Amino acid sequence: MTVEPRAFVLAGARSEDAIRDALGQAYTVSEEHAAAGSGARRRTWLDTFDWRLFGAGLVLEHEQTRRGGRLVLASADGSPLAEQPVTGWRSGPVAQLPGGPVADRIAALIAPRALLAAASVASTRSVFRLLNADGKTVARIVADRSSAGATELDIRLQVSEVRGYSAQARRAAGLLAAVASPAMGHVFAAAAASGRSPGGYSGKVDARITADMPAQAAVVLLLRNLLDTLEQNVDGVLRDIDTEFLHDLRVAVRRTRSALKLLGDVLPADLTMHYQSEFKWLGDLTTPVRDLDVYLLGWGDLTAGLLAATADDLEPFREFLVRQRAREFRLLTAGLGSVRFRALTHDWGKALAELSEPVPRRGRKTKAAGARNPAAAGPASVAARVPARALLPAGALATERTARAVRQLTRRGAAITAQSPAVSLHDLRKRGKELRYLLEFFAPIYDQTAYRTVLSDMKKLQDCLGEFQDSQVQREEITTLARQLLADSAGPAGRGDAGRAGGGDQAALAATLLAMGEINARLAVLQQQARADFDDRFARFAGPVTQRHIQALLNRGEQ
Amino acid sequence: MKVYATYNIKGGVGKTTAAVNLAYLSAADGQRTLLWDLDPQGAASFLFRVKPRVKGGGKALIRGTKALDEAIKGTDFENLDLLPADFTYRNLDLLLDESARKPTERLARLIRPLAAEYDVLFLDCPPSISLLSENVMHAADVLVVPLIPTILSVRTLDQLTEFVAGFSGRRPRVLAFFSMVDRRKRLHQEITKSLAAEQPLVSPTAIPALSLIERMAVERAPVTAFAPRSQAARAYRELWSQLS
């Protein structure tokens, strides 16, 4: 029985020679022929698209041998944490992963993401025993010789502890550590050979802006980073790998729209205007599927809180949502495959590339402005149309726009009373998001402690507004969906989804609608709670402590 | 967790070789198996090349001040662990007598947590009739009793079954088998044949007296592991199939 092994990699050498060289003085090394776990296997390193396991210091491998498959979860230093057998599962959404110790360990960390193959190697495994003076096996070394395609990788050596002999495993690991490097490098090499870079994707804004770079250069850098994120997610959306691809794509679109709105005046005006409208189209294109995803992802919570109805009553509603999603998804893929979308990403990328050329000292507007597609007008025209404020230092722009966003949020929030309509809270939430995005855009300029303090101050207000608005949207949607469900079931049989609730199914339909009503009522309660919390949350945000934090942030941004 | 105990009041009848080989076969079947070498002589520990030493000795184990699982050692075989012997086990009777109420059931209580980790537990008992052996009988599901094919040793089986029959509540199943059977001795042949037919508690499988079994002490491994195709290994496998 093995616990707490450690893993290393050794370059080049034959595994047996390497082990004997490192450990031969302390132990008799004997190969365990036909040992359990030896022989050929395919090892596939799994992680989410955004490297959540890697980020948490975990390495998940799927091992496939002729006898079957298993998942092995290890820490970064190679110590196994959990394992479970799997049959017929290679990769995919964690929700489809059969239950077991590995699934239990990682589900919360990666849901709702899917596990994807980050690297795959063909391995031959040999097992060596380390014997003491009595000839007793006191530890084992598991050696993997692997290749990724034509690339031969370093040999991975894993110290496997024999129960009751932990000191010997530590000693063997210590001896190996003197001649080998930690095994995490093995995973890097496997990924590199498969053309992947661990940690290479993150949905976070990552534009290396500095305070003294020209404002336009900073905004272009930021927009390029957001376009990269958007483009990286398109394939995952089209293949419907998991719902986070669409989520990340939408966030990139929202951030782009906010950047164009709040900072777009450092770009040629016609360009900003054109892409504001194009990115609005893209945002709208993605909304229906995302809204349905939110319902389906939160299904467990939605049904868990039912009092009068049961989860079974809602099943027709869930099936309806799944059908709706399939329909909407077809429209989404058509949109993402359209000429308009391809032109949007291509031309936008091209325009940003042209703008990242050195800005002329004296920018001026030209008559080219106002063309239907300004990006297609050519580099000379784009670069020539830059406004004068493009040359402001980015630090000054950041401070000015952040301060303005704070003022707006504070003013509009203060104007909200008990009688204000829901839309005014929605509007406030949007202003809050804009402020948050601005902070994220210019994060590299700010003092990190001050930045994190302000974000954390804002979070409670934003959560409250989010709860309020999400409940509002879901209530409106559930009303619309109830009408659609009713219309679908009342239609003549044989047409699409129609006729599903004909005759004896009337009772089932009534139960479903009642259950939806219960959900609607619960959403109303949540919304009321959020509304009741708002005054206090806003007062804190507008209060002296948060404002002092914001001032400290802005002062440092200017430095 | 199924608990087997190899027991006989007499020594040198093949208890340890049976325990070691049957435990190995159980592990080879894929069952998580633990063998507790309760004999202070430590023969089973020796055969698995494990030092007959437990930190804190028998006292720590019986008093529960040291968890059993800390003392467990992995053998060289998959699924098979060993709880080694310790010379202080010679005093287990005294320690059990000191311990709380129901001293005859102390061992049964002590091994209960092991069920989370093991499917099968073998208890290899020292030759004696004592409080320890009574504890073993209360803890075991099956008493595996090796018998030398002599009239006298067969009498001890009757005494044992009577003793076990007197238990109130749970009683272990008793299964005896002839051990160290010398086919050249007519008496061995006669007794083996007649008693196996007459006595329902006696297995039809006999373990022959073979030098290969004695060789276990040289190889320091179960004969079922180092000579799996031998007559001895076959006999143990047959016995194990009747037990499991």
Map out the domains of chain B as residue ranges: 2-243
Q: Are B178 and B147 in contact (CB under 8 A)?
A: yes
- Average pLDDT in the A240-258 region? 96
Confidence of residue A328 (pLDDT cuts 50, 70, 90): very high
Nearest CB to B74; choose among A134, A135, A163? A163
Residue that finishes a domain, picked among A342, A372, A391: A391
Question: Which of residues A189 and A293 earns the better pLDDT score?
Answer: A293
Same domain? For A254 and A348 the reply is: yes
A536 pLDDT above the threshold of 70: yes
Cross-chain Cβ contact A165/B49 below 8 Å:
no
Does A321 map to a domain? no
Same domain? For A484 and A414 the reply is: yes
Least confident of A7-11, A173-177, A278-282, A417-421: A7-11
d(CA A392, CA A213): 8
Pairing between strand A137-148 and A92-93? unpaired
Question: Is B51 at the interface with chain A, CB within 8 A?
Answer: yes
Nearest CB to A164; choose among B49, B73, B76? B73
pLDDT in tens, B133-184: 889 998 999 999 999 888 887 788 888 888 888 888 788 999 999 999 988 8
Same domain? For A181 and A221 the reply is: no
pLDDT the model gives residue A384? 63
How close does chain A come to B48, measured CA to CA in Å?
A: 8
Confidence of residue A499 (pLDDT cuts 50, 70, 90): very low
pLDDT in tens, A149-197: 888 887 888 888 899 998 999 899 888 887 777 666 566 666 766 677 7
Q: What is the CATH number of the domain that holds A378?
A: 1.40.20.10
Which residue of chain B comes nearest to A137, CA vs CA? B76
Least confident of A8-12, A275-279, A367-371, A522-526: A367-371
Q: For residue B5, list its beta bridge partners.
A: B123, B143
Residue that finishes a domain, picked among A391, A423, A439: A391
Same domain? For A279 and A422 the reply is: no
pLDDT the model gives residue A369? 39
Tell me which residues of chain B have a pLDDT lower than 50. Answer: none
Cross-chain Cβ contact A135/B71 below 8 Å:
no
Does A381 map to a domain? yes
Same domain? For A97 and A152 the reply is: yes
User: Can you give the residue range of the structural domain that contains A239?
Assistant: 211-287+328-391
Query: What is the secondary structure of B106-169 as a DSSP string?
Result: HHHHHHGGGGGT-SEEEEE--SS-SHHHHHHHHH-SEEEEEE-SSHHHHHHHHHHHHHHHT-SS
A486 pLDDT above the threshold of 90: no
Indicate the burial class of A68 (C-beta count within 10 angstroms; 0-12, 13-18, 19 or more). exposed
d(CA A356, CA A363): 14
Q: How many domains does chain A have?
A: 3
CA–CA distance from A462 to each of A39, A332, A523 (Å)?
55, 29, 18
pLDDT the model gives residue A191? 72
Question: Is B221 at the interface with chain A, CB within 8 A?
Answer: no
Q: Are A189 and A198 in contact (CB under 8 A)?
A: no
A453 pLDDT above the threshold of 90: no
Residue that finishes a domain, picked among A370, A391, A412: A391
pLDDT the model gives residue A412? 94
Same domain? For A36 and A118 the reply is: yes
Same domain? For A259 and A227 the reply is: yes
> Which regions of B186-229 does DSSP assign to beta strands (E)?
202-208
d(CA A187, CA A9): 10
Please enumerate in sequence order all residues whose Cβ is within 8 A of that of A427, keeping only pairs 6 or more positions apart, or say none: A412
pLDDT the model gives residue A303? 86
Which residue of chain A comes nearest to B75, CA vs CA? A137
What's domain B2-243's architecture?
3-Layer(aba) Sandwich (3.40)
Indicate the burial class of A216 (C-beta count within 10 angstroms; 0-12, 13-18, 19 or more). buried
pLDDT the model gives residue B130? 86
- Tell me the pTM: 0.73
- Average pLDDT in the A57-76 region? 88
A9 pLDDT above the threshold of 80: no
pLDDT the model gives residue B142? 95
Indicate the burial class of A366 (C-beta count within 10 angstroms; 0-12, 13-18, 19 or more). middle
pLDDT the model gives residue A501? 47
d(CA A256, CA A230): 10
Same domain? For A167 and A279 the reply is: no
% of chain A with per-residue pLDDT over 90:
49
pLDDT the model gives residue A197? 76
Same domain? For A380 and A490 the reply is: no
Same domain? For A254 and A124 the reply is: no
Most B CBs within 10 A among A132, A160, A163, hence the mutation to make, goes to A163
Chain B partners of A129 at a C-beta cutoff of 8 Å?
76
Does A319 map to a domain? no
Chain A partners of B48 at a C-beta cutoff of 8 Å?
136
Does A293 map to a domain? no
Same domain? For A85 and A150 the reply is: yes
A35 pLDDT above the threshold of 60: yes
Q: Are A509 and A502 in contact (CB under 8 A)?
A: no
d(CA A139, CA A136): 9
Q: Answer positive or negative: Cα dihedral of A512, A514, A516, A522.
A: negative
Does A248 map to a domain? yes
Say whether the peptide bond before residue A112 is cis (omega within 30 degrees of 0).
Answer: yes
pLDDT the model gives residue A497? 47
Same domain? For A124 and A41 the reply is: yes
- Average pLDDT in the A242-264 region? 96
Tell me the average pLDDT of chain A: 85
pLDDT in tens, A337-391: 999 999 999 999 999 999 987 655 544 444 343 444 555 554 455 666 667 788 8
Please enumerate in sequence order all residues whose Cβ is within 8 A of that of A483, keeping only pairs 6 or more positions apart, or say none: none
Cross-chain Cβ contact A129/B51 below 8 Å:
no
For chain B, how many residues are written? 244
% of chain A with per-residue pLDDT over 70:
87
For chain A, how many residues are written? 559
